[in-house]
Amino acid sequence: TKTLIVPNSETFSNFVQEEIKKGNDAIYEINTPPTYLKLLDMLISFLPLILFSILVYYTIKMQNFGGKNKFYDDDAKQESKIKFKDVAGLDEEKGELVEIVDFLKNPDKYAKMGAKIPKGVLLYGSPGTGKTLVVKAIAGESGVPFISMSGSEFVEMFAGLGASRVRKLFEQARKVAPCIIFIDEIDAIGAARTTGGSGGDSENNQTLNQLLVEMDGFESSENIIVIAATNRPELLDHALLRPGRFDRHIAIPKPDIIGREEILKLHAENKKIAADINFKELAGDTAGFTGADLANILNEAAIHATRYKRDEIIQEDIEEAIKKVTIGLEKQNRVVSKKDKKITAYHEAGHAIVSRCLKTTEKVKEVSIISRGMAGGYTMYQSTEDKSYISKTELYENIITLFGGRAAEEIYIKDISTGASNDLKVATNIAKE
């Protein structure tokens, strides 16, 4: 008996053939190579495949979760402590929303009457007007969890993933129902469908189709309400808006003067604010600001007050915060040449004087040649009222005021500078629009 180690049966049979040819006959004991060698051999031949699979797995995972793997956890389900009292202003809108809370709380009441509970609600309005806040308040008031996703998170590079995420979202919602599904930035998936187009387009179409299928699929008895938010409702596909889908539309407007006062007061509640702060006046000075802007201003004011080691937030902190938010940070220490200062002084004075001679322009509140943000100097106007319409005369006079800076440079410096470039841009925009 001889011992022979051969790597595999093929080599063995070749060897036997050779031996037979040579006329040798002997009894061989077959000893296969140790298992670990075989395993190693296998591993090496599969290595490229394994590495490739790992690579693909992680790429998909990254795509799928944008880094944060919260979608399959229960974390996606959130409870909200926010109530309607945390949303200031928006009184009419809240009235509409109270009904949705009632749907979620007392579905039977409506079912008895034969009423179908709406499946989808679309909130639209400028960014920062409080759409997310409102959804949290609905969830908080009705005591149901909400699952939130942002439209842009659905947009995937790999075909079919967006659609499967929509499916998973609704699956999860069914498990925790009654609940609210909140889709922020729905325009990212709900933009009007295109035919053909690039890969990205058709992928979006698939995601949108899946959303439509899911919305048609669940019964109103399942007690899931889908709330979507967008700041561009005009982009949305009509299929999304028809009855049975997002058929309730609620506009969330920028707050008016009363709304602004309420928002300021609400956000001042947890801050140390001087007693003499006049919120009404402040609301008057902040026409066009959203709730988020106002919250930001009070926060900046609190930071400013802390930096100056004050006991409470005073008017000056708030004014500084408004300027910081609207124009930019004050740059007192920036070195400015005498020549630049002179140009800025004439330029800003030009704006201020021209606007004084016009009928419709607002009163000048402050003129400064201390640079802020990108601006070398600035002229601030008092905003007095909320306007829905702007007349042609106002637009003309706006343009004239904007040109006041350039005109002053021409007259007094006898030269013009790039200081007017932003004014010209704004004026051109007004004219074009």
Residue with smaller CB distance to ligand ADP, 130 or 376: 130
Of the candidates 255, 252, 268, the residue with the CA atom closest to the CA atom of residue 89: 255
Around Cβ 49, how many Cβ atoms within 10 Å?
9
CB of 222 to ligand ADP, least distance (A): 26
Residue with smaller CB distance to ligand ADP, 132 or 210: 132
CB of 293 to ligand ADP, least distance (A): 8
Cis peptide before 178 (omega within 30 of 0): yes
Residue with smaller CB distance to ligand ADP, 267 or 406: 267
DSSP string, 19-66: HHHHT----EEEEPPPHHHHHHHHHHHHHHHHHHHHHHHHHHHHHHHT
Residue with smaller CB distance to ligand ADP, 177 or 295: 295
Contact 288, 254 (CB under 8 A): yes
Give the active site residue among 185, 214, 348, 397. 348
CB of 200 to ligand ADP, least distance (A): 25
- The helix or strand, by DSSP H or E, that contains position 306, with its residue range, turns out to be helix 291-307
Tell me the Ramachandran region of residue 246: left when phi exceeds 0, alpha when psi lies from -120 to 50, beta otherwise: beta
Q: Which residue is nearest to ligand ADP (CB)?
A: 291
Strand 146-150 and strand 77-78: pairing? antiparallel
Binding site for ligand ADP (CB under 6 A): 87-90, 127-133, 229, 263, 266, 291-292, 295
Terminus-to-terminus CA distance in the chain, angstroms?
100
Complete edge-to-edge strand list for the sheet that includes strand 246-251? 77-78, 146-150, 179-184, 224-230, 120-124, 246-251
Amino acid identity for residue 159 in this structure: A
CB of 96 to ligand ADP, least distance (A): 14
Helix axes 291-307, 315-326, angle to 10 degrees: 120
At residue 166, the 3 state secondary structure works out as: helix
Contact 254, 93 (CB under 8 A): no
CB of 131 to ligand ADP, least distance (A): 3
Cα separation, 283 vs 313, whole angstroms:
17
Residue with smaller CB distance to ligand ADP, 266 or 322: 266
Residue with smaller CB distance to ligand ADP, 129 or 207: 129
Query: Is residue 348 among the annotated active site residues?
Result: yes
CB of 90 to ligand ADP, least distance (A): 5
* Catalytic residue list: 348
